Amino acid sequence: MKSVAVLGGTGFVGQQVCRLLVAHGWTVTVPTRQRSLVSPIGGVALREVDVHDGGALCQLVAGLDAVINLVAILHGDSALFESVHVTLPQSLVMACVQQRVTRVVHVSALGVDDVQPQSGPSEYLRSKGRGEAVLLHSPQAAGLDVTVLRPSVIFGAGDKFLNMFAKLQAAFPVMPLAGAQAKFQPVWVDDVALAVVRSLERAPGAAARAALPRVIEACGPTVYTLADLVRLSARLSGVRGGAGRPVIALPQWMARVQASLMELAPGEPLMSRDNLDSMKVDNVASGTVPGLEALGIAPAQLEPIAAQYLSKR
C-alpha cells in the first residue's frame, strides 16, 4: 500500500485531501503539534510532530512514498512568512533527499512567480515564490518529482471565505469593502483535493514527468470581482431575503487604514495590508500555465455548490 504524509492535513483543504487519499487506498500520516487538539480523521494516523523541526521532519518522511505540503499562512511579519513558506520547503527537500522520498506535491497560490519571486506585490506572494523556487529550481531538489498546484481562492462547506462574508452581512448594516474590484476565480476544495491525488497517482519516472507540467493553476470556470462574491454570499445565504447589505467600495487609502486597524485587533485579522497588496494582482488564471484540465478535471461551478452550504446558515 502506498504511503504519504500530508503536512497541513488538519486544515480545511488538508482534511478533504486526506479523505480522498484514504478512499484511493493510500496510508496517510498527518503531523500535528498538539494531537489532543485535533479531531480524528477517518483512516488517518495522527503523529505529534513539529514539521518546522528539521530532524523531526526527516524522521516523519522516512519510508514514505510521497509527501504533500499544504502548510501556509495569510498573515504575519516577514520572518514568519519566510519560516513557513521558504524555510519549511527547504527542510522538506533536505528530508526527502536524505530519506529517498522522491514524490512531492506542493500547494502554493495563484499569482506566484517562481522565476522572479521578488516581483510579487506582497510578502505573501514573494515568500510563496521563493518557496516554489526551492522546490523547482534548487540543485538540492534536482532529483525530486515535484508538482506545484496554484489554486485561486478555495470555496466549499466550512470555508472561511464565502461563509465569512455571509456572517458579516448577517451582523452589520453595510459592507465597507477593500479591494472591491479585485478579481478571483474560485475553485472548489474537492477539485483541489482531486488534483493533489491525481498528481500523486500518475506513473513515476522521466516519461511521466515530461508528460505532466510541473506547475498547474487550479481555478474554477468563472471570474468574479470581490464585490460580486460578497453579494453572491448574501443572496445564497438569504441575508435580507437575498438582497444583502449595501457594498461600499473603499478607496485605496481608506482600505489601508481599515486594514491597519484590523491588524491591531486580537486574533487573526480579517484583512491585513499585505492582503491588500496581494490583491493588486488579479487572482485569475494566467493562461500561460496549464489548468486542472491537464489532470482530467472539469472545474465545478461555484454557485450550485455554495448554495448548498450557505443556505443552511
How many domains does the chain contain in total?
Answer: 2
Same domain, residue pair 37 and 62: yes
Domain that holds residue 11: 3-154+187-218
Residue 311 has pLDDT above 60, yes or no: yes
Banded model confidence at residue 268, pLDDT cuts 50, 70, 90: confident
Looking up cell 455548490 gives 305
Provide the pLDDT for residue 211. Answer: 60
Same domain, residue pair 178 and 204: no
Q: Confirm whether 15 is domain-assigned.
A: yes
Residue 35 has pLDDT above 90, yes or no: no
Mean pLDDT calculated for residue range 68-86: 96
Same domain, residue pair 48 and 178: no
Same domain, residue pair 195 and 179: no
Higher pLDDT, 59 or 1: 59
Q: Confirm whether 289 is domain-assigned.
A: no
Rounded percentage of the chain residues whose pLDDT exceeds 90: 88
The residues that bridge with 48 in the sheet, in sequence order, are: 32
CA 148, CA 135: separation in Å to the nearest integer? 9
DSSP calls for 183-252: EE--EEHHHHHHHHHHHHHSPPSHHHHHHS-SEEEE--S--EEHHHHHHHHHHHHTGGGGT---EEEPPH
Residue 247 sits in a domain whose CATH number is: 3.90.25
The residues that bridge with 154 in the sheet, in sequence order, are: 187
Provide the pLDDT for residue 208. Answer: 52
Provide the pLDDT for residue 298. Answer: 98
Select from 222, 211, 233 the least CA-distant residue to 294.
Answer: 211
Same domain, residue pair 67 and 131: yes
Same domain, residue pair 23 and 136: yes
- Do 184 and 222 touch, CB atoms closer than 8 A? no
What mean pLDDT is reported for the chain?
93
- Do 160 and 189 touch, CB atoms closer than 8 A? no
Looking up cell 529550481 gives 137
Cell numbers of 76, please? 504575519
Same domain, residue pair 191 and 231: no
Banded model confidence at residue 222, pLDDT cuts 50, 70, 90: very high
Q: What is the pTM of this model?
A: 0.95
Q: Confirm whether 65 is domain-assigned.
A: yes
Cα 183 to chain centroid, rounded: 17
Same domain, residue pair 91 and 138: yes
Tell me the pLDDT tens digit for each residue of 140-168: 999 999 999 999 999 999 999 999 999 99
Q: Confirm whether 293 is domain-assigned.
A: no
Residue 118 has pLDDT above 70, yes or no: yes
Q: Confirm whether 207 is domain-assigned.
A: yes
Banded model confidence at residue 266, pLDDT cuts 50, 70, 90: confident
Residue 111 sits in a domain whose CATH number is: 3.40.50.720
Same domain, residue pair 213 and 246: no
Q: How many CB atoms lie within 10 A of CB 257?
A: 14
Same domain, residue pair 130 and 10: yes
Same domain, residue pair 179 and 121: no
Same domain, residue pair 45 and 178: no
Q: Confirm whether 77 is domain-assigned.
A: yes
Q: Confirm whether 292 is domain-assigned.
A: no
Banded model confidence at residue 210, pLDDT cuts 50, 70, 90: low
Q: Confirm whether 177 is domain-assigned.
A: yes
